[in-house]
Amino acid sequence: MKMSFELNNLVRENIKVLKPYSSARSEFSGVANIFLDANENSFGSPLTKWYNRYPDPLQWELKKKIGSVKKIDAENMLLGNGSDECIDLLIRTFCNPQRDNIIICPPTYGMYEVYAHINDVPVKEVPLTTAYQLNLEALEEAVDANTKLIFFCSPNNPTGNSLDREAIEMVLNNFDGLVVVDEAYINYSRQRSFVADLKEYPNLVVMQTFSKAWGLAALRLGMIFASTEIVDVLNKIKPPYNINQATQELALKALDHLEDVNAMIKETVKEREILVKDLTAVSFVQKIYPSDANFVLVKMDNATAVYTYLKEQGIIVRNRSNVLLCEDSLRITVGTPEQNEQLVEALKNYQRK
Ligand SMILES: *Cc1c(COP(=O)(O)O)cnc(C)c1O
């Protein structure tokens, strides 16, 4: 296939002609004393006085600060109410229901498929190899004229490994739809982020999140990094005030504590290595897959029985036994040192039973 990328050919016709909602906050930007344009409550809430105004629809202050950390312009960024919203926006912008399709590479994150199904968009599955890497031949075979998006997750959930960079680049160079690289776990990996490659690949979309390394899953803040052309069209269809004021304020604060976040990432990686070592000593553990993330996938004898036992001990892990290529495997999130110790202790007690 010869690369002939043209964003205009990918955007759905109804989105191309859409006249976006123009909110009060986006029609007037400037300095004024009295705002009577948005039907807000000028008295303010009795609970807290300053949440009575609608937030910045395009979150410029926050994006600029994220941009200075990630070395990318605010114009190349779209923020979503979690990566969830980012995935949904991508599918709704580019995929005509029933006609266009997306490609995913299982075992992988479940939300790509769920949002495709919600939007009535067919999903083509191209499983990873047994080494949990991309099957390039099968990918090439699966792509058809209606394939708009290919989702890669690297480091991948639930397997934990990073996908080979060269394989992703191969697809970027040969596929004329969009390649979405979900980097939710990139901070735990030694791999270089694809954010630095956005200028090189007009068809690249990178996703990251505040839910993992930043420790702010409850805020629901996901990020898309892409060309300004892609960001502009996504901005047309996003809900006007999709990132609430409290989230914008707290994320700005978190960005002032970069060193603490980096220390926490280092500690998580250190704990991951300790956990891997401790799990190696558990007799019924068969295999611990190498992880570039804040979790490990562990294959063991009778994983479902172990899962049930752990649950009875008040320890909840993720049973992935029913997932393709993850037979008899549990996905275990790296916890605090105390939590990890309790987990290993419980597993050793199970061994003695
Ligand atoms: C956890 C996770 C996310 C984060 O989703 P949010 O909606 O931002 O919390 C995204 N992608 C993958 C693969 C994940 O595992």
State whether 288 and 247 are in the same domain.
no
Rg of the chain over all Cα atoms, to the nearest angstrom:
22
Mean per-residue pLDDT over the chain, rounded: 96
* 187 shares its domain with 200: yes
Domain co-membership, 153 together with 121: yes
Give domain status of residue 13, yes or no.
no
The residue out of 234, 257, 280 marking a domain boundary is: 257
Please check whether residues 198 and 243 belong to one and the same domain: yes
Instruction: State whether 213 and 289 are in the same domain.
Output: no
Nearest-CA residue for atom 2 of ligand 1: 184
Are residue 232 and residue 340 in the same domain, yes or no? Answer: no
Residue 326 confidence (pLDDT): 98
212, 224, 294: which to mutate for ligand 1, most atoms within 8 A of CB?
212
pLDDT value, residue 1: 45
Q: What is the pLDDT of residue 353?
A: 73
DSSP string, 94-162: H--TTT-EEEE-SSS-THHHHHHHHTT--EEE----TTS---HHHHHHH--TTEEEEEEESSPTTT-PP
Which of 227, 257, 287 is at the close of a domain? Answer: 257
Looking at the domain assignment, is residue 19 inside a domain? no
Please report, for residues 212, 236, 316, the alpha-carbon distance to residue 333 in angstroms, rounded to integers and kept in the order given. Answer: 11, 37, 10
Which pLDDT value is given to residue 50? 87
Of 86, 87, 111, the one to substitute when testing ligand 1's pocket (max ligand atoms within 8 A of C-beta) is: 111
217 and 109 together in one domain:
yes
- The answer to whether the beta carbons of residues 199 and 174 sit under 8 Å apart is no
Provide mean pLDDT across the span 159-176.
98
CATH number at residue 195: 3.40.640.10
pTM greater than 0.95 = yes
CA distance 168 to 160: 17
Alpha-carbon torsion, ordered 184, 201, 177, 186, to 10 deg: -10
Are 141 and 201 within one domain?
yes
| 332 Cβ contact partners less than 8 Å away, ≥ 6 residues apart | 275, 279, 295, 296, 297, 298, 317, 318, 343
Residue range 36-65: average pLDDT?
Answer: 94
How many domains does the structure of the chain reveal? 2
Percent of the chain clearing pLDDT 70 (strictly above): 99
Task: Give the DSSP letter string of 153-191.
Answer: ESSPTTT-PPPPHHHHHHHHHH-SSEEEEE-TTGGGSSS
Q: Is 283 contained in some domain?
A: yes
Structural domain contains residue 329: yes
Residue 352 pLDDT > 80, yes or no? no
Q: Which neighbouring-strand residues pair with 266?
A: none
Q: 188 and 153: one domain?
A: yes
- The answer, yes or no, to whether residue 8 has pLDDT greater than 60, is yes
DSSP codes of every residue in 3-51: ----HHHHS-HHHHS------HHHH--S--S---SS---TT--SS-GGG
Range of the domain at 285: 259-348
pLDDT at 3: 65
Do 209 and 282 share a domain, yes or no? no
Distance 184 CA to ligand 1 centre (A): 6
Kindly report the number of other CB atoms within 10 A of residue 258's CB atom. 11
